[in-house]
Amino acid sequence: MENVIESKKVDETFDFAFCEVTKKLVNLELHRVAEDDKITADKVVILKKGYREEIETHGHINSRIVCHFSDELFRYITDTMNNGITPSEEEIHLFLNEYINIACGHAISSLNNLTGRPSRLTIPRFYRNNDSLELTDPEEEGRYLVYRSATGMLHVFLFYSMQTDQEEGK
């Protein structure tokens, strides 16, 4: 298990990545909502419906990042990334997958640089309204980041652990 300073740095890195990427990619400011960042069963309920994205990392940092978008924020991001045109139902997941890939890629790249050890992203997965998203009680460290914007809310659940030198085979 990592120490508090490392946990705080992971949180700060993901926070910065989501805010910066959202601003640059869709010209929208995300504002972190002050809230207890511990993941609880009450908070996880939000992941049972709505538009959700999931991506994982493997390597020095093993993580599962699950994001829940309000309907308004989801539509704003997909429309803006498609030059102001609402994409077809068959295409909408492509835009949200790309958004998550860029935001999380930015964070993981920064963390790779800080640790000097590699972690890689998996392919993002998109979940529509009632698609089942299985969450188990993870043994990994977990954090909950909440953002408000002019067009809606973003909830980010970070489940992660860091490999030790021994676990990495060094």
pLDDT at res. 4: 33
Q: Does residue 147 surpass a pLDDT of 90? A: yes
Does this model's pTM top 0.85? My answer is yes
Domain boundaries, the chain: 4-162
- Beta carbons of 44 and 157 less than 8 angstroms apart: yes
* Residue 120: partners with Cβ closer than 8 Å, 6 or more residues away: 57, 58, 59, 108
Q: Which residues pair with 125 in a beta bridge?
A: 54
* Exposure class string for 29-63: b at 16+ Cβ within 10 A, else e: ebebeeeebebeeebbebbeebbbbbbbbebbbbb
Answer yes or no: is pLDDT of 6 > 80: no
What pLDDT digit, counting tens, does each position of 58-109 carry? 998 899 999 999 999 999 999 999 999 999 989 999 999 999 999 999 999 9
pLDDT tens by residue, 111-146? 999 889 999 999 999 998 878 887 765 444 578 899
Look at residue 108 and give its three-state secondary structure: helix
Fold that domain 4-162 belongs to in CATH? Chemotaxis protein chec (3.40.1550)
Tell me what pLDDT residue 141 has: 59
Q: Which two tokens stand for residue 30?
A: 């995300």
Residue type, 16: F
State the average pLDDT over residues 14-22: 96
pLDDT band at 1; cut points 50, 70, 90: very low
